[in-house]
Structure 1
Amino acid sequence: MAKDHIDPVEALRQNTALPFEQARAMPPEVYTTQEFHDQELEAVFAKDWYCVGRADGLANPGDYTTCELAGQPVLVMRDRDGVLRGLSNVCLHRMSTLLHGRGNARSIVCPYHAWTYNLDGSLRGAPAMKLNEGFCKDQYKLPKIRCEEWLGWVFITLNQEAPAVAEQLAQVNDMIAGYDMTNYTEAFYEEHVWDTNWKILAENFMESYHLPVCHAGTIGGLSKLDDMVCPPGLPAFNYHTILKDESLRIAMAHDSNTRLKGEERRTTFLLALYPSLLITLTPGYFWYLSLHPKGPGQVHIRFGGGMSDDYKDDVDAPQNFAELKALLDDVNVEDRGCTEKVFNGLSSTLAKPGHLSHLERPNYDFSQYLMARIDENMVT
């Protein structure tokens, strides 16, 4: 039995009109319809900042990563002067995409006709073009995409009017200053595609209410609901905190860290930087997910992590982190199972959103952000 058509934007508007004390989960149509997917590409991903990873993962001249942002193929590359550049990843000849995945290149060579670009996007050479009287090599340069670094993260946006990342996230910077997040070094980076909606995975990160059950086989037994604090979010992000114990030493502040005091030394921040950068930040290590939708039913995931440089000289730190990475992989298997089950359930004709727990305050703030972005886009 097919569902009657419901305008997903209007359904979300009615949903977000309620105060948090009466709030429910977002309506199924927000996750499952092409109609809402198209709205969020235009209003969210084409307008806000998207994170492509850590700057130290692109440390050397020629290091690059690629992505598709709201339908636009984008290339981020460190040039010969050490500057990170965002560029269109589309050849200016017959419009093939240029580079793919992540790697290092001495130049940007089109895989179709070998038009070759320098690392700054200028055209270096184009075979067999001398007989075209209108061709002038100097007139060709790959269009720039805004690219900014913030605390070691690399962000891009298609929106020339978007406020600077540092401006939007100034309150995050103040809140976690003692962690010195710039000086965390990435130890692994992977990309995955899961069969769920990107918002389901984002919300899964935003609340730790699910930890005792979804993660019963891994970290669930260490997750104490009473230790979770979920304050109201802010316009550009939400967060919650968890207190860790000494059982995982690299989650604690290093003895050399005099920046963090008292309970700060064992506090983990779970930061959701809108729209889709999700960071678990402990005093000793971090891991992150950067999400982009692939239609309503799939999400592309950039997954990475590493350690605070405070630990870089500790002999046992690499082994401790290797054990942590193995644990994170097991946690991801559990999260994938849970979030794909949620998407299957949302696709049911009988699916109706239930009331939120006080531990799901970040989810409520996320829905408010989405609604605000869509309304702003409708006005402009």
Structure 2
Amino acid sequence: MQPIAELLKEGAAAVGRPLADARLLPSRFYTSTEIFEAEKERIFRRNWVSVGHVAEIPKPGDRFRIDVAGEPLLIVRGRDGVVRALSAVCRHRAMLLAEGAGNAGTISCPYHKWTYALDGALMAAPLMEGASPLDEAACALPSFACEVWNGFIFVNLDGRAAPLAAALAPLGEELAPWKMDELEIVGRVVFDQRYNWKVLADNFMEAYHHFAIHPETFEPNYPAAMSQADEARGPFAALRMPHKGNELSEPLFPPLPDIPDEARRGFSVFNIYPSMLLAVFVDTVTWYRMEIESAGSFRLTIYLFAHPRSLDVPDAEALKEFLREAATAVHIEDIAACEGVQKGLESRMAVPGRLSPLEAAIHQHQQWLMGELVKA
């Protein structure tokens, strides 16, 4: 088996070339357990990872469970209104404290009822009489760095990442008219996927496949040949998909008034590194949240958002259902492509393919990934 140091060197050489000469990462970057373990440690533990949206936890006591790089987390809104990322592992016998989502005034372990406040402080440890006094500070749930950016909740596991908002300032300014911190979740669709997470990231960030995979859903209005990636401006990639003929898009819901004219004539997709995939339409926002489990599997939740003011229309419920059905149909088309790519990557005949200029956003992402992987 090829040593990981050699594989990293090979990957850096492939993506380090200018776009006109660049190739994809070698296939083992999509299939190797060793690479996946390196990604967990050097990418997902060191960088900001998107885990949720404030619309999921609007009230004190609201919480949901999620794992990041194998670390079980509990995302909680405290009594003070602050959103926190706490360890979901009880300090007594390491039982997981919760699954799914819910609301309660405290956090109670289902195993022995050790109970914590919403900020992680230990409140009660039943039937511990006769044991030495507990160090309550040591028994508090550990917390992780947590930031809310444009309504999206991000976590940094090692606590050493630079502040997120400054790094994403150009994107935050662009997206301000959508008022994303006020968005309402109008639908969620969940898929258990059996391919590498980067296969989906690659697919999401190019429209080159529209004419082949989406000949009826996207290509007629958003032709592949018209798409174009921005120059790199930070730890994210941006791909623009103009409407055919530069015509105004036909939204489902009334757009907010301050959205610029250019954004009304197409839509944009973004990859906020390492793995936040966001599609911004004139009237709605779609977020692909990946809960990455292994080199070849992840759970995908497609979140569909709209602003409450846009939903003030008589047929809002029917339009929400149409949006959910459309998102499902598009992703089912993509699943066939992604599963086919993963199967091909597992072949001995797979080689790092050349990139089209229409795949510039993939090149940017893979250059960033390699930069993170080769860091000490």
| TM > 0.5 fold call | yes
Provide Cα deviations, 1:29-66, integer angstroms capped at 9, x if missing partner. 11111111111111100001111121011111221111
Q: Match for residue 250 of structure 1?
A: 252
Shift of residue 232, structure 1, vs aligned partner:
2.4
SS, match of residue 275 in structure 1:
coil
Q: Match for residue 134 of structure 2?
A: 135
- Please tell me the residue identity of whatever aligns with 2:29: V
1:169–1:4 CA distance, 2 compared to 1 (3 A): closer
Q: Match for residue 317 of structure 1?
A: 316
> Runs of 5+ in structure 1 lacking a partner?
none
Using the alignment, how far apart are the partners of 1:138 and 1:45 within structure 2?
28
TM-score, normalized by length of structure 1? 0.92
Contact 1:66 1:74 in 2 (8 A): yes
The more displaced of 265-274 and 197-206 is 265-274
Q: Match for residue 82 of structure 1?
A: 81
1:117–1:4 CA distance, 2 compared to 1 (3 A): closer
Using the alignment, how far apart are the partners of 2:153 and 2:130 within structure 1?
42
SS, match of residue 228 in structure 2:
coil
TM-score, normalized by length of structure 2? 0.93
Provide Cα deviations, 1:67-114, integer angstroms capped at 9, x if missing partner. 111221111111122211110111000111111122223321212211
Shift of residue 338, structure 1, vs aligned partner:
1.3
- Please tell me the residue identity of whatever aligns with 1:186: I
Shift of residue 218, structure 1, vs aligned partner:
3.3
Q: Give percent identity, aligned residues only.
A: 30
Q: Match for residue 196 of structure 2?
A: 197
Q: Match for residue 39 of structure 1?
A: 38
Q: Give matches, 1:160-171, under 5 Å.
A: 160-171=159-170
Using the alignment, how far apart are the partners of 2:330 and 2:283 within structure 1?
19
Contact 2:249 2:265 in 1 (8 A): no
Contact 1:287 1:305 in 2 (8 A): yes
Q: Match for residue 106 of structure 2?
A: 107
SS, match of residue 250 in structure 1:
coil
Using the alignment, how far apart are the partners of 1:16 and 1:108 within structure 2?
46
Shift of residue 368, structure 1, vs aligned partner:
0.4
Provide Cα deviations, 1:238-261, integer angstroms capped at 9, x if missing partner. 01111345574237x63x60x234
Q: Match for residue 11 of structure 1?
A: 10
Pair 1:271-2:273 in alignment: no
> Runs of 5+ in structure 2 lacking a partner?
none
1:110–1:20 CA distance, 2 compared to 1 (3 A): same
1:75–1:190 CA distance, 2 compared to 1 (3 A): farther
Contact 1:191 1:300 in 2 (8 A): yes
Using the alignment, how far apart are the partners of 1:168 and 1:4 within structure 2?
35
Contact 1:125 1:137 in 2 (8 A): no
Pair 1:55-2:46 in alignment: no
RMSD: 2.0
The more displaced of 280-289 and 61-70 is 61-70
Using the alignment, how far apart are the partners of 1:335 and 1:217 within structure 2?
13
Q: Match for residue 351 of structure 1?
A: 350
Contact 1:239 1:271 in 2 (8 A): yes
SS, match of residue 92 in structure 1:
coil
Q: Give matches, 1:117-136, under 5 Å.
A: 117-136=116-135
- Please tell me the residue identity of whatever aligns with 2:364: D
- Please tell me the residue identity of whatever aligns with 1:363: I
Shift of residue 375, structure 1, vs aligned partner:
2.2
Contact 2:235 2:272 in 1 (8 A): yes
**How many residues of Structure 1 are paired with residues of Structure 2 in the alignment?**
372
- Please tell me the residue identity of whatever aligns with 1:308: H
Q: Give matches, 1:182-261, under 5 Å.
A: 182-216=181-215, 218-244=217-243, 248-250=250-252, 254=255, 257=257, 259-261=258-260
- Please tell me the residue identity of whatever aligns with 2:201: A
The more displaced of 102-111 and 5-14 is 5-14
- Please tell me the residue identity of whatever aligns with 2:67: E
Q: Match for residue 366 of structure 1?
A: 365
Shift of residue 278, structure 1, vs aligned partner:
0.5
Shift of residue 134, structure 1, vs aligned partner:
3.3
Using the alignment, how far apart are the partners of 1:335 and 1:74 within structure 2?
30
Shift of residue 340, structure 1, vs aligned partner:
1.3
- Please tell me the residue identity of whatever aligns with 1:47: R
Using the alignment, how far apart are the partners of 1:284 and 1:241 within structure 2?
16
Contact 2:66 2:291 in 1 (8 A): no
Using the alignment, how far apart are the partners of 1:101 and 1:191 within structure 2?
13
Using the alignment, how far apart are the partners of 1:146 and 1:14 within structure 2?
34
The more displaced of 294-303 and 282-291 is 294-303
Q: Match for residue 94 of structure 2?
A: 95
Q: Match for residue 19 of structure 2?
A: 20
Contact 2:205 2:239 in 1 (8 A): yes
Using the alignment, how far apart are the partners of 2:87 and 2:190 within structure 1?
21
Contact 2:50 2:152 in 1 (8 A): yes
